[in-house]
């Protein structure tokens, strides 16, 4: 997802999406260790999307506190 699309999601949706991506990243790492990963670049993309979500969540918490 693009950052613009992520910003439109609610906080609850972002937290759920982050959890889903973390779980998927873990599974992809296991596949990579066993040698069955088809696209290793997907791990990098997942990590970047998690970072985008973390950035949005921290911005929202900073704006809420002051």
Give 10-43 pLDDT, tens digit per residue: 999 999 999 999 999 999 999 999 988 788 899 9
Total count of domains within the chain: 1
pLDDT at 39: 86
pLDDT at 63: 93
Residue 39's domain comprises 3-65
Query: For residues 50 and 64, which has the higher predicted lDDT (pLDDT)?
Result: 50
Q: Say what angle helices 41-65 and 11-34 make with each other, to 10 degrees.
A: 150
Q: Where residue 47 sits, what CATH number does that domain have?
A: 1.10.287
How far is Cα of residue 32 from the mean position of the Cα atoms in its chain? 19
- Confidence grade of residue 52 (pLDDT, cut at 50, 70, 90): very high
């Amino acid at each position: 997802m693009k950052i613009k699309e992520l910003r439109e999601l609610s906080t609850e949706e972002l937290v759920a999406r982050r959890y889903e991506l973390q779980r998927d990243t873990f599974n992809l790492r296991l596949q990579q260790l066993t040698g069955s990963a088809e696209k290793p670049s997907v791990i990098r993309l997942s990590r970047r999307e998690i970072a985008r979500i973390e950035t949005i969540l921290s911005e929202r918490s900073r704006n809420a506190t002051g």
